[in-house]
Structure 1
Amino acid sequence: MRRLLSRCVMCPRRCRVDRSRGELGVCGTGSGIEIAAVGIHPWEEPPISGTRGSGTVFFSGCALRCVFCQNYPISQMGVGRGFSARELAEAMLELQAGGAHNINLVTSTHQMAGFLEALVLAVPLGLRVPIVYNTSGYETEETLRLLNGIVDIYLPDIKYSDPRTALRYSGCADYVAFNRRALLEMWRQVGPLQTNGDGVACRGMMVRHLVLPADAAGTRGSFAFLAEHIGPELWVSLMNQYFPAHKALNLPPLDRKVTDEEYGDAFRVLSELEFENGFTQTCSTGDEVDCLPKMQ
């Protein structure tokens, strides 16, 4: 995979810069491994965090430029430090030793070459937990096919159903087209989420959708696609954690939180399309309401 860096086409941006010589594309990273944080995270979806937490690795940089990104210092401002492949291998082994159920690669697409070098070192030393590919969903089928048999669990977003919205809020009109093809390729590789006797995921796919104010994310269009092309057996996570951040603070309608009514409307789309597996979150009041039961 590292040879792809010399004329980088690892993500749909296809910048074709020579990252091996220090040239930077949209993601803002060169050929080395840049990581902002490594730790055990207890607040992912229950099959991902389990009882002991998910071993998260937050990679610096991102191919998207989301105006509402809640991690924008990491994704867009270059926060992080360099890791060698051996340092990353040791970090993953430490996460496993600390009880992490998995290694959770957060926004790693543009740095998978470095991760694979670390993985080659870590596996002979005893790394055994599943690999989670936690992604914005802005992926190429070609890169995903290189990960077939390496990634155990895909945890992608489906952010938008309208290319115009994707352009306005994430800087890429082609997000919807690439995202949908990527989701189908991920599903082809791993299929529905599978859990062990403790309810912890060991293989499969769960799709996340962040509800945005004024239905800016196009929830119905997103889940209608999933229902038609994958089916209601897909596990989904309907997220209600949006808050204005970064450039969205001055960009209506993203300058406010999602209302309980808006989130309720999004949940009813799931019900109408007969999705039964997955998770919802509480309303902004912090209370569960009858119309928004936890999905199981």
Structure 2
Amino acid sequence: MQLKNMPGYRKILTNKILQNKVEQARRHLTDCNLCPHNCAVNRQEKLGFCRAGDKVVLSSYGPHMGEEPPLVGKHGSGTIFFGYCNMRCVFCQNCELSFGGEGELVTNAELADIMLELQNFYKCHNINLVTPTHFVPNILEAVLLAAEQGLMLPLVYNCGGYEKLETLALLEDVIDIYMPDFKYHQAEWGKKYSGVKNYPDIVKKSLQEMDRQVGGLKTDKQGVAYRGLIIRHLVMPGGVEDTKAILKFIKEELSPGCLVNLMDQYFPAHQAHQFEELSRRLSYNEYKKALEYAKTLGLNLVR
């Protein structure tokens, strides 16, 4: 493996930097301020907004062929789905996981073994951490344990974008590929549809920090990603102008090599029918307008 392709965590494995990050992150399990909710709860005794305790809730894991092509390659993306979430999206398509915490408790050592299984048995191209924010301390320790046993795959941080800069600082030189959502450009939508405050401002700062850390997407000769930023945006019904504002921010404020996945899969799942404006599918014309605007900007789009 060329040095430029080497996962970041391997470069900080022998100089104790990764170990120090594990120790810094661990304090959040007893005074949790991992995300912008700043619950400050002892997760061994009390639950915060996300409702996660101090142990990882594992919903499922395995090779996933439905992710973005640069992550999938030939053998798939090694997805690990975690229970619970730091957002409350009324249209969530995985509400059993995100709201109900469906899954089983696993130790950090068991999580490390799963990472190694995805590498050694399934031959996946990366470790794709899905909804990981609230389990960052556990993930960092698992990465340390797995790296000591030969883990060599890039780490993908697959999140909702509602991140804290201090937590992203812990992840610097550990995470190779960031894949956040940018859901809304209107703060009131974030509050109304996802239960979070100041969503656009927080996401913009988070994306800029992620971009600073990893930059535009880099791929190997086979087209498989090993470093960089992928941004997902789900076009909402009646939300074309909101989408345009998000795409404009990406164009003007982030590296040109960032990959953008402009998604059309919205349907009224979970509690969406409680909101008239969300009670229908996205129309073909709405998505077409959003896509044409993205192309006009010259964004690097998923094909």
Residue 204 of structure 1 pairs with residue 225 of structure 2: no
- For 1:50 and 1:257, how far apart are their aligned partners in 2? 30
- For 2:296 and 2:221, how far apart are their aligned partners in 1? 30
Aligned to 2:106: 83
- For 2:284 and 2:174, how far apart are their aligned partners in 1? 39
Per the TM alignment, residue 155 of structure 1 is displaced from its structure 2 partner at its CA by: 0.5
Matches within 5 A, 1:130-279: 130-215=154-239, 218-275=242-299, 277-279=300-302
1:96 to 119, 133, 153: 119
2:69 to 46, 63, 68: 46
Per the TM alignment, residue 272 of structure 1 is displaced from its structure 2 partner at its CA by: 2.3
- For 1:160 and 1:216, how far apart are their aligned partners in 2? 11
Residue 58 of structure 1 pairs with residue 81 of structure 2: yes
Per the TM alignment, residue 173 of structure 1 is displaced from its structure 2 partner at its CA by: 2.8
- For 1:234 and 1:38, how far apart are their aligned partners in 2? 27
Contact 1:210 1:217 in 2 (8 A): no
- For 1:200 and 1:255, how far apart are their aligned partners in 2? 37
CA RMSD in angstroms comes to: 1.2
Aligned to 1:26: 49
- For 2:173 and 2:207, how far apart are their aligned partners in 1? 16
Contact 1:161 1:217 in 2 (8 A): no
Per-residue CA deviation, residues 26-51 of structure 1 (Å, 9 max, x unaligned), is: 11111111111111100101001111
Aligned to 1:289: none
- For 2:247 and 2:206, how far apart are their aligned partners in 1? 15
Per the TM alignment, residue 4 of structure 1 is displaced from its structure 2 partner at its CA by: 1.9
Would you say how many aligned residue pairs link Structure 1 and Structure 2?
A: 278
TM-score (norm 1): 0.91
- For 2:90 and 2:219, how far apart are their aligned partners in 1? 35
Contact 2:215 2:255 in 1 (8 A): no
After TM superposition, the runs of 4+ consecutive aligned structure 1 residues lying more than 2 A away are: 231-234
Aligned to 1:127: 151
After alignment, is 46-55 or 250-259 more displaced? 250-259
Report 1 or 2 for greater relative contact order, CA contacts < 8 Å, sequence distance ≥ 6: 2
Per the TM alignment, residue 124 of structure 1 is displaced from its structure 2 partner at its CA by: 1.5
Aligned to 1:287: none
Contact 2:57 2:105 in 1 (8 A): yes
SS of the aligned residue for 2:210 comes to helix
- For 2:197 and 2:246, how far apart are their aligned partners in 1? 15
After alignment, is 217-226 or 4-13 more displaced? 217-226
Per the TM alignment, residue 254 of structure 1 is displaced from its structure 2 partner at its CA by: 1.3
Per the TM alignment, residue 115 of structure 1 is displaced from its structure 2 partner at its CA by: 0.9
Per-residue CA deviation, residues 17-68 of structure 1 (Å, 9 max, x unaligned), is: 111x321001111111111111110010100111110000011111100000
Per the TM alignment, residue 73 of structure 1 is displaced from its structure 2 partner at its CA by: 0.6
Among all aligned residue pairs of Structure 1 and Structure 2, give the percentage whose two residues are the same amino acid: 45
- For 1:17 and 1:35, how far apart are their aligned partners in 2? 21
- Amino acid in the other structure paired with 1:209: H
Per-residue CA deviation, residues 101-125 of structure 1 (Å, 9 max, x unaligned), is: 0000000010011111111111111
Per-residue CA deviation, residues 242-272 of structure 1 (Å, 9 max, x unaligned), is: 1111000332221111111000011022122
SS of the aligned residue for 2:40 comes to coil
